[in-house]
Amino acid sequence: MRMLLSSDDLAAGLDRLAAQVRAAYGQGPLTVVGVLTGSIVVVADLIRQLEGPVQVSMVWASSYRGPATRPGELKLRLDFLPDLTGRHVLVVDDIFDTGLTLHALLAELGRRGAASIRSLVLLRKLGRSEVAIEPDFVGFDIPDEFVVGFGLDCDGAWRHLPYLAVLDEAEIAAARAPASQDADGRG
């Protein structure tokens, strides 16, 4: 495992993102919609730097393919969303890779009468996008490598790392051994 962004790098990135979000929304009301499971760390760090009143909700998305390059079928679960009518909504995800997840999610949320919808991602992989949209706020652009930590997983593991690391081929192969599959809501 090779460290790509240290805890200090990530904390500085979160400070920058939070400053941009505060500049955009000030002390006005905001609904933060985090995408489970990968965004949990970013959401926790971000919301504690916002002014108020901030409402927090989570949706679930998974296009899980482990470290494979192509996403699998995209599944979305929006059951726990509050009424978004008239709300300013900020969708928060861990990483913008092909962009298909964010694209589909923004389309779904766009049908719910929000006053505005913007998106924030901690990471964006360079040269991977397959969609016409870009996130409004981006923490870091990173090379096209498979990363774990700070919320991001490899077959369910490594979300807890306080830094961001690149997995090498052998580590990816080990994570993909048949018995390593788990049943949690990955994504």
Which positions are annotated as active-site residues?
Answer: 97
Stretch near Mg ion under the rule CB under 5 A, chosen from 37-45, 50-58, 116-124, 175-183: 37-45
Binding of Mg ion at residue 149 (CB under 5 A)? no
Least distance from ligand IMP to the Cβ atom of residue 142, Å:
8
Query: From the list ligand IMP, Mg ion, none, which binds 158 (C-beta under 5 to 8 Å, kind-based)?
Result: none
* Single residue of 13, 38, 99, 149 touching Mg ion by CB under 5 A: 38
Are residues 112 and 3 in contact, defined by beta-carbon separation less than 8 angstroms? no
Please give the distance of CA 162 from its chain centroid, rounded to a whole number. Answer: 15
- Give the count of beta carbons closer than 10 Å to the beta carbon of residue 120: 26
Binding of ligand IMP at residue 152 (CB under 6 A)? yes
Least distance from ligand IMP to the Cβ atom of residue 71, Å:
5
Q: Determine the Cα–Cα distance for residues 110 and 107; give it in Å rounded to an integer.
A: 5
Task: Single out the residue of 138, 69, 131 nearest to residue 106, CA to CA.
Answer: 131
Stretch near ligand IMP under the rule CB under 6 A, chosen from 18-26, 107-115, 140-148, 176-184: 140-148
Residue with nearest beta carbon to Mg ion? 38
Whole-Å CA distances, 101 to 6, 20, 131, 159: 26, 23, 10, 19
Are residues 138 and 81 in contact, defined by beta-carbon separation less than 8 angstroms? no
Residues that bind ligand IMP (CB under 6 A): 38, 63, 71, 93-101, 146-148, 152-153, 187
